[in-house]
Amino acid sequence: MTLNLRYDQGRIRKYHYFMLLSLIQKYKKISRSQLAKLTKMSNTSVGKIIKNLIDDELVIEAGQTDGEIGRRAALLEINPIGSFIIGVEMDKNGVKIAIVTLTGEVIRERQFAFDPDQEPYRLLDKLGEEITILLSKMDSSINKKIIAIGISIPGLITWPEGKALRVPQFHWENINIKAYLEEKLDFVVYVDNHVRTVLLAESLYGNMRNYNNSVCIYIGSGVGGAAMVNGEMLRGHRNTLGEIGHMILDPHGTVCDCGRLGCLQTFICSSELEKQAQMPMQEIFSAYKEREDWAVKLINRAQSYLGLAISNVICIYNPEAILIAGPMIEEFPILIDNIQDEVNKYIWAPLSNSFHLVYPEIGRSSGVIGASALVLNEFLRFTNDDV
Ligand SMILES: [Zn+2]
């Protein structure tokens, strides 16, 4: 049956349609002849498909290439308001809902707090109501152009089913987020782990744009990871690939919240450092700045284990770039002061200088923008899956 697809002209046209759209997204501004060169398609074929993309309002002409007079060509770019995505970020601090453009701009946002012990499906009911309220305040021309809903959540999420196997922050187990919301709302819903959405957001709109082989290490109240190879998000058998926080680095170390000893996160995440020092992170870092011996030891050890983790991750994935993200880095950048030196201490010689350490461009809105990036990524991935 799949063999016949090769001869299905409609599908091939669709394939080229999304391929050109994803190239325009990647290069930001590109001419028709540059697209023809990149794809080895004829100028005529590219011209026809671009006309469809412009007619569908997904692409616009914006400016011209530099060059000799008479040889200038129109540059194409994504029409940011050609379609919109609803991005949702859920964590213990509350729920944020945003309408996001195709270029990652938030045009309207709404948020609400909730009790993490609330019955899970009642919280999803509330989320559905809040999305409906947000949409009722938007112009109907925008509502008509919404592609789908993306949800970013810190937990173990199945893919593509969008079921939360475990969300420790809310004490959730086996909650069918995608199925439940799709039934309630008239939209397709994508749900994924927060760290993956952060890496996707930076890859589509931020500092990771130029890297096809990348890893994210995310440090907050726990430690998470995500990896992309050849521009594709790696998920593993149960969509849990990259859970580096629970790699055991010292079998004689302190107890992790997973019940085992010496997991990576026991050395670097905020909840564990707070537990060990018996005080909030702010005070730990103040003591570190005052050069109090215990605090210097604790933070130096955290830096050292972060360097160790990065060098181990480089051995596994051989990435071009490593995104180091999360609230711990945003709030206490001191943690990464000498991180390149720390990595250099542990890196396997053949891989030294093979990678860039990168910090986020998007920052605090990365949750809702990342959730929208999850949708856009699936939309553009049509080229890989459905042909
Ligand atoms: Zn653990």
Residue 387 lies in a domain: no
Q: What is the pLDDT of residues 6-36, one digit of tens each?
A: 445 666 677 888 889 989 988 889 999 999 9
Q: What is the pLDDT of residues 106-122, one digit of tens each?
A: 999 999 998 888 899 99
What is the structure's pLDDT at 7? 46
The stretch 124-144 carries a mean pLDDT of 94
Could you tell me the pTM of the whole model? 0.89
CB 302, CB 254: distance < 8 Å? no
The stretch 70-77 carries a mean pLDDT of 84
Asked whether residue 289 falls in the same domain as residue 321, the answer is: yes
The stretch 35-49 carries a mean pLDDT of 94
For the chain, give the percent of residues with pLDDT over 70: 94
CB 127, CB 120: distance < 8 Å? no
The CATH number of the domain holding residue 35 is: 1.10.10.10
The helix (H) or strand (E) run that includes residue 25 is helix 9-27
Structure tokens at 311: 């060098």
Which residues span the domain enclosing 151? 84-198+366-380
Return d(Cα 322, Cα 327) in angstroms, integer.
Answer: 16
Return d(Cα 145, Cα 173) in angstroms, integer.
Answer: 34
Number of structural domains the chain divides into: 3
Residue 205 lies in a domain: no
**Phi/psi of residue 55, each to 5°?**
-60, -35
DSSP 98-110: EEEETTS-EEEEE
Cα 238 to ligand 1 centroid, rounded to whole Å: 18
Q: Is the pLDDT of residue 96 over 50?
A: yes
Residue 203 lies in a domain: no
What is the structure's pLDDT at 64? 83
Asked whether residue 232 falls in the same domain as residue 343, the answer is: yes
Cα 263 to ligand 1 centroid, rounded to whole Å: 5
- Confidence band, pLDDT 50/70/90 cuts, at residue 3: very low
Q: Is the pLDDT of residue 153 over 70?
A: yes
Asked whether residue 15 falls in the same domain as residue 63, the answer is: yes
- Confidence band, pLDDT 50/70/90 cuts, at residue 382: low
CB 152, CB 89: distance < 8 Å? yes
71 vs 366, residue with greater confidence: 366
Cα 248 to ligand 1 centroid, rounded to whole Å: 7
The stretch 41-68 carries a mean pLDDT of 89
Residue ending a domain, choose from 30, 52, 78: 78
Residue 363: left (phi > 0), alpha (psi -120 to 50), or beta? left
Return d(Cα 385, Cα 387) in angstroms, integer.
Answer: 6
Asked whether residue 136 falls in the same domain as residue 52, the answer is: no
Asked whether residue 88 falls in the same domain as residue 162, the answer is: yes
- Confidence band, pLDDT 50/70/90 cuts, at residue 387: very low
Residue 26 lies in a domain: yes
Nearby residues for ligand 1 (ion, Cβ within 5 Å): 246, 256, 258, 263
Cα 182 to ligand 1 centroid, rounded to whole Å: 33
Average pLDDT, the chain: 91
Residue ending a domain, choose from 22, 53, 78: 78
Residue ending a domain, choose from 49, 78, 107: 78
Q: What is the pLDDT of residues 284-296, one digit of tens each?
A: 999 999 999 999 9
The CATH number of the domain holding residue 319 is: 3.30.420.40
Q: Is the pLDDT of residue 384 over 70?
A: no
Q: Is the pLDDT of residue 167 over 70?
A: yes
Cα 177 to ligand 1 centroid, rounded to whole Å: 25
Asked whether residue 223 falls in the same domain as residue 341, the answer is: yes
Structure tokens at 70: 């008479």
The stretch 317-336 carries a mean pLDDT of 94
Cα 19 to ligand 1 centroid, rounded to whole Å: 41
Asked whether residue 143 falls in the same domain as residue 265, the answer is: no
Return d(Cα 63, Cα 60) in angstroms, integer.
Answer: 10
Residue 385 lies in a domain: no
Cα 96 to ligand 1 centroid, rounded to whole Å: 28
